[in-house]
Structure 1
């Protein structure tokens, strides 16, 4: 099939920043795109060939959107899988496949998948409702602290909370959920695995992630991870096993814990371009967004190695600020060597909302990390 400068049409469900960055690559190759998002101000709107406003969880909206595309992909997991399955049965190529997406979309199902396939993960308990957790604590089935996760619709740190006392449960929604044992880890890592439609597989270098303690969001992504080679090898092997068992197509970001004893446990996965791969735009031979396009179109996969050390700093809305966004001191960070800001195009800021990211590249990892710290301290995402 001719994908370039042709009548071929790629559909993307979700019009946020990940979709916008995918569109950088489709425009580079002149691939026609159609995007659907619930927001009229979605960042993707300015760069796609056709934009549809619609609810990603509505069966009819998703089904009707996908009927006239040749390949359909996602930039967020929270989509109507029943509609995707119907489209798949009618001949539309859907990547990741609906079977993969069904497993990943529900965190309880995802965790059961790991245990069923002998993939190392933290111990957990599944609950039909949050209200059932109190009885489990009373009966000794759960011990503090543990991590509560909503089984569905968690995203960007939402739907996750550390429970240290009974009162911490009070404001949580009464939904299907899991309670995970707190892991005594020394590093949070991630590996991006890419698999194309003909089964070719490659991995990106292991990255190290530093999280904001309150927002449960990544603050820094460091590539390569500052870990021993044996640990990196083990992390890559675990990620490849997850990929093989899920039989995904496209990108799969596998988030991992490195325990104090250097064991590797799977935290969770995302079947799409991911925050942990943003560094690749400046630092890699083939960035994650181009790689995803290559994979879902069955094209040869690109080189995944890094050209230079890369660090990504997330730009999130400052606490105490809501409204029209202002990026304070952006000119100051542009004066720093190896610094590239990416602004997502969201006009309204709120506390901890992802508004952009900054990539720092340098031949010296230590220097890159020092500049990243300076960037974090300098730029502020505030409101007017």
Structure 2
């Protein structure tokens, strides 16, 4: 096994946002040297990286030259230059997850077709090259309302997804390749983090339950373990494992799922990296998701995925009416509550619904943790300084 610890080995990370910052907690713990590139000169990961450079993640030359200087390359955001990753792999560079995995996931249309080809359960869909093509299909009565519209590229944190109830709802949407998807009546939105290392060892974390903000379409609460039956838990983990086997990914794969009214499990979408739905693991699990991603891409033995305690995560997002230098109002008050740990991502400027941090609440009882989470949500406000 290669000596990664206190050595000349260098891990490269494309993206220096909050996920990169939290991954660096673990590289620091193991004394693994890192190099990070991000377009933001004040990226959250800047301070913890051994080397930091400013660069455009979509620029071929930037990604290529950066990748050539490191031993293993990973990413914390999917919107990176795919052609550069493919070239690095041709040159023998280790890129995890692979360019092939990213190719299948980066475009949501290709991702959906992948599920259909592999007979993985997902909502019915149809792809369109443009909004105009979708509009024509509606006029020809080939598409019924309501349905879910998704942009094939560029969607994140609730952006790029809309419920379309009538033709006028299409007007504000961008002119882009998109898909129409069945609107699924579901009981729960669930997620499973699957870890797979280079040697093919696979482990899943417990199923989590996600509660979404009604207007921003962002996750507000993540509950782990999910309040579901053992049978549904088993079914969800099994589907997540099937997705992992189909992709043959290396690293973490966050599999977002719908639990339908009759307890079917359908795949919504996946992310090939540490994910918002796995943040509970920092306080609640034997191995947190960031350490697990590191173990997986370096082909180290995977850590234990069991939980020590139940946990609820609350997203800290910018208040709808505030833009400017951030102020975390009442943070001292939530820190007095039992089992409460705030995580501040290091973004100096807040804007409406921007992810600024999260708060973990751990407790022996998931329902008690959820009650405390509600108090946290009401108490803390992410506003701008006057």
TM range (shorter): over 0.9
1:94 matched residue in structure 2: 95
Aligned-pair distance for 1:41? 1.1
**Residue in structure 2 matched with residue 194 of structure 1 by the alignment:** 195
Spell out the pairing of 1:207-246 with structure 2 (5 A cutoff).
207-246=208-247
Q: Quick one: distance in 2 between partners of 1:256 and 1:353? A: 24
CA distance in 1, matches of 2:328, 2:135: 44
User: Quick check: 81-90 or 127-136, which moved more?
Assistant: 127-136
Structure 2: 5+ residue stretches without partners? none
Structure-to-structure mapping, 1:19-34, within 5 angstroms: 19-34=20-35
Aligned-residue RMSD, C-alpha: 0.6
- Equivalent residue for 1:51? 52
1:102 Cα deviation (Å)? 0.2
For residues 29-59 of structure 1, what are the alpha-carbon distances to aligned partners after superposition, in whole Å with 9 as ceiling and x for unaligned? 1100000111111100011011111111111
Within 5 Å, which residues of 2 pair with 1:1-384?
A: 1-384=2-385
Task: Give the deviation of 1:68 after TM superposition.
Answer: 1.0
Shift of 1:219: 0.3
- The alpha carbon displacement at 1:140 in A equals 1.9
TM-score w.r.t. structure 1 length? 0.99
Cα shift at 1:218: 0.5
The TM-score with structure 2 as length reference comes to 0.99
2: CA distance, partners of 1:206 / 1:292: 18
CA distance in 2, matches of 1:138, 1:214: 28
Higher alpha-carbon deviation: 193-202 or 364-373: 364-373
Distance in 2, matches of 1:333 and 1:217, equals 22
SS in 2 for 1:46: coil
- Counterpart CA distance in 2 for 1:383 and 1:130 is 37
Tell me by how many angstroms 1:181 deviates.
0.9
Whole-Å separation in 2 of the counterparts to 1:204 and 1:178 = 30
In 2, distance between residues paired with 1:294 and 1:169?
A: 44
Equivalent residue pairs, number: 384
Superposition misfits of 4+ residues, deviation over 3 angstroms = none
